[in-house]
Each structure stands twice: as C-alpha cells, then as structure tokens.
C-alpha cells in the first residue's frame, strides 16, 4: 500500500501533504492532552511492532506494495489519536531512512494508513463495543475494524493513483482491493490475537481506551 515517488502528480501529493500535516498537528495536540505517562513506553513498543510488520511487503503491481497496517490494533490499545501518530512516525521512518514509500507521497500514505485506516477502522470497532460492551464486542470489533481499515485504505490509494493519471479508477480499485481484501483478513487475525491476549493479561488497557 506504500505509494512510491513518481506515481502521484504535484497537485495530488501537495494536497495530501497539506491535509496530512494539518491533521497530524491536531493529533499531536489531542494526544498531549490525553496521553498518560505510562502509555509512552507502550507507544514505542507498538510502533516497533507495527514497523516490523510493515517491512514485510508484497508487490501487487502499479508500483504499490501490500502489507499489514496495524492502525486499528494500536487505536484499540492506545486510542485513535495516539495510533495515528504511531502510524505517521512509522511511515516517515520508512520513507526517509529505508526508502519504503516515497517522500513526495508521504502525505498520501499518511492519509491512507494513519488517518483513514485508523479512524474508519476504529469507528467500526466502537460500533461493536457499543453493541456488545464486553470482551466479545472488543474482539469482534477489532477483527471487523481491522479488515475494514485495510480495504478502505487500499481504496483511497486507488483513488489517489487514478487522480494522478496512473490508470482508470475501476482497474486500480479491482487490482488493489483484490489483494487487500485478503491481506485485511490476515491483519484482522493478527490484530485480534494481540488484543485478545492483552484483554486477558492487561484488560485495563482496552477498557481505559474505550472510556476515553
């Protein structure tokens, strides 16, 4: 899902940079108000886990790779604002240090994975938590939210590529969604397993996030 340099035109990546930058500034402000001191080390651990997971890339054509996201898992455990910062940090490190994803396309990658992926998936998670305010709701919400986050992020990626003249929207959506529907299932299983384990050993993490 990482978009490399050269695939987005200036209009598209410039707009994406502006949107991503404004949103992340707001996310930092929100996190500074809500973040508790004991959560800071956990954010670092979560960022390292997501970074390692995203380094496993599957080339799927049109210069774009498919991989796990991890945004909903981070949002369930730390809240969506902290999760968006974690995802942005991971994406920036990959782009600037490991050349995984383009620097010009970083804004678009942030929108797709740190904004749409995190908040859309977390919204789905909250719907299940509200319906079943117990461990079942947490796990089902994590599973469905994680899958939705991958699919919607891939759809956003296809739209950005189409706006930049990289092909028809129909073809790009078909190619990206075909792969990411499957990748999303893998992500959902991994995220649910991690959250399921933590709800047993540290249920307070998920409960506090849901209350916030």
What the chain holds in terms of domains, given with CATH numbers, is 10-211 (1.10.1760.20)
Taking only the tens of pLDDT, the chain with its 212 residues reads 678 898 999 999 999 999 999 999 999 988 887 776 667 778 888 888 888 877 776 665 555 556 678 899 999 988 999 999 999 999 998 888 877 778 999 999 999 999 999 999 999 999 999 998 888 999 999 999 999 999 999 999 999 999 999 989 999 999 889 888 988 998 899 999 999 998 888 777 665 555 54
Is the pTM of the predicted complex or chain greater than 0.75? yes
Query: What does the pLDDT read at residue 199?
Result: 84
- Three-state DSSP at 9 gives coil
Structure token pair of residue 60? 């799927």
How many residues belong to the chain? 212
* Cα–Cα distance, 203 to 23 (Å, whole number): 30
Question: Bridge-partner residues for 58, per DSSP?
Answer: 66
Q: Which residues are CB-contacts of 169 (< 8 A; sequence separation ≥ 6)?
A: 158, 159, 162
* Cα–Cα distance, 125 to 132 (Å, whole number): 11
Query: What does the pLDDT read at residue 173?
Result: 93
Query: What does the pLDDT read at residue 210?
Result: 52
* Cα–Cα distance, 159 to 155 (Å, whole number): 6
Query: What does the pLDDT read at residue 208?
Result: 52
What DSSP designation does 79 have?
-
What DSSP designation does 5 have?
T
- Three-state DSSP at 58 gives strand
**Residue 21 CB burial class (10 angstroms; 0-12, 13-18, ≥19):** middle
Pairing state of beta strands 65-66 and 58-59? antiparallel
* Cα–Cα distance, 124 to 82 (Å, whole number): 17
Query: What does the pLDDT read at residue 175?
Result: 87
């Amino acid at each position: 899902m990482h978009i490399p340099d050269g695939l987005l035109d200036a209009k598209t990546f410039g707009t994406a940079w502006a949107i991503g930058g404004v949103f992340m500034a707001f996310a930092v402000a929100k996190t500074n108000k809500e973040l508790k001191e004991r959560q800071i080390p956990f954010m670092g651990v979560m960022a390292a886990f997501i970074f390692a997971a995203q380094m496993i890339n599957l080339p799927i054509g049109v210069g774009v790779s498919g991989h796990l996201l991890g945004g909903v898992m981070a949002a369930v455990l730390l809240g969506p604002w902290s999760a968006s910062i974690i995802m942005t940090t991971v994406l920036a490190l990959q782009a600037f240090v490991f050349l995984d994803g383009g620097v010009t396309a970083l804004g678009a990658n942030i929108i797709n994975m740190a904004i749409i992926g995190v908040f859309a998936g977390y919204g789905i998670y909250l719907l299940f938590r509200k319906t079943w305010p117990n461990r079942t709701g947490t796990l089902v919400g994590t599973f469905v939210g994680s899958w939705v986050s991958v699919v919607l992020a891939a759809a956003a990626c296809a739209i950005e590529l189409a706006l930049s003249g990289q092909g028809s929207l129909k073809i790009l959506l078909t190619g990206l969604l075909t792969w990411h529907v499957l990748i999303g299932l893998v992500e959902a299983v991994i995220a649910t397993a991690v959250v399921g384990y933590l709800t047993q050993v540290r249920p307070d993490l998920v409960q506090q996030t849901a209350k916030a």
